[in-house]
Amino acid sequence: MTTGQSLHYYHVDAFADRPFTGNQAAVIPLTEWLDDDILQAIGEENNFAETAFYLPDETGEADYELRWFTPTIEIALCGHATLASGHVILSEQPDRDQVTFRTRRAGILKMKRDGEGYALGLPAYAPDLKDFPEIVELVGGSPVETQFHKGRYHVLRYQTADEVLALKPDLKALGALGNQQFICTAPGTDTDVLSRVFVPGGGVDEDSVTGSAHAVLTPFWAKQLERDSFTAYQASQRGGYVNCRLDGETAWLGGNCVTVVEGLFRI
């Protein structure tokens, strides 16, 4: 492992309008890619749901290239750490209104200023009806509907928010299924939609506010509610609010960010 380098480091609370809420992300700008084992070690050291790394995109397809690492693996899509990365860039470039990211498996992602906050455009992952009784047993409760989006996204819709709040899933058993995401959702109380998201196989037992889950929930609830826009709350310990809007094949997620730490990461 290469040592003796100092990297700029930002700790950002994403989908948050004040410190200590929303989802924590580490953001580290680079000038060239470090070895994957170093990137993964940094993700493990930070121990946040995700650490985001970006550098200028040399292909001309986007402004920056972006990758995300949990404490254990590199993942295909992370919304909150993308929002946090865009926040860092746009905060340092106040005359700029938007930024684009080229990712390795999720395509080109766009983020723009939206009032006092931001809007992040992610691919809309519309799930389809699917039964998975073994997973329901591990998650708990009695969902009225289950759906799945190819790859990793399991949606369990419950009748009430209280049912979702009361869930105590078997995280060890769910984690043994690999890097799967278990999205438990219901109509909200002070928002249109409420959710909790579990990703134990990806190193995150319960995520705080999950952008990729809302890329699934946006088309899911747009169909359920019969409208393209709605408000959402992820009821984790930290909690966070997301404004969701479906625009064709794009899920626009609105929220704020707060930078709580700036410094150097030494390797």
pLDDT in tens, the chain (267 residues): 456 899 999 999 999 999 999 999 999 999 999 999 999 999 999 999 999 999 999 999 999 999 999 999 999 999 999 999 999 999 999 999 999 999 999 999 999 999 999 999 999 999 999 999 999 999 999 999 999 998 799 999 999 999 999 999 999 999 999 999 999 999 999 999 999 999 999 999 999 999 999 999 999 999 999 999 999 999 999 999 999 999 999 999 999 999 999 999 999
Is 261 a domain residue? Answer: yes
> Where in the sequence is the domain holding 234, given as residue range(s)?
128-246
- Do 114 and 44 belong to one domain? yes
Q: How far apart are CA 188 and CA 104, in angstroms?
A: 34
Inter-residue contact 196 to 203 (CB < 8 Å) = no
Same domain, yes or no: 149 and 102: no
| pLDDT one-digit tens code per residue, 67-108 | 999 999 999 999 999 999 999 999 999 999 999 999 999 999
* 115 closest CA partner among 213, 17, 21, 19: 17
195 in the same domain as 176: yes
Q: Both 97 and 180 in a single domain?
A: no
Residue-level pLDDT at 2: 53
Q: Does 260 share its domain with 229? A: no
Q: Are residues 114 and 141 in the same domain?
A: no
User: Are residues 261 and 241 part of one domain?
Assistant: no
* Token output for 106: 């999720």
Phi, psi of 109 (to 5 degrees): -110, 140
Residue 1 domain-assigned (yes or no): no
Residue-level pLDDT at 3 = 65
Task: Assess if residue 70 is contained within a domain.
Answer: yes
* CA distance from start to end of the chain: 9
Q: Residue 119: which residues within 8 A CB-CB, separation 6 or more?
A: 111, 112, 113, 252, 253, 254
Domain of 230: which CATH number? Answer: 3.10.310.10
Output phi, psi for 240, to 5 deg: -170, 150
Among residues 32, 44, 50, 65, which one is catalytic?
Answer: 50
CB 98 within 8 A of CB 112: yes
Output the six-digit token pair for 48: 């946040």
78 and 174 together in one domain: no
Place of tokens 């993942």: 75
Residue 253's SS3 state is strand
Is 45 catalytic? The answer is: no
Beta carbons of 221 and 233 less than 8 angstroms apart = no
19 and 108 together in one domain: yes
Query: Domain count of the chain?
Result: 2
DSSP for 164-189, written as a single string? HHT----HHHHHTT-S-EEEEEEE-S
Supply 167's token pair. 């869930």
Place of tokens 């993964």: 40
* Contact call for residues 230 and 192 (beta carbons, < 8 A): yes
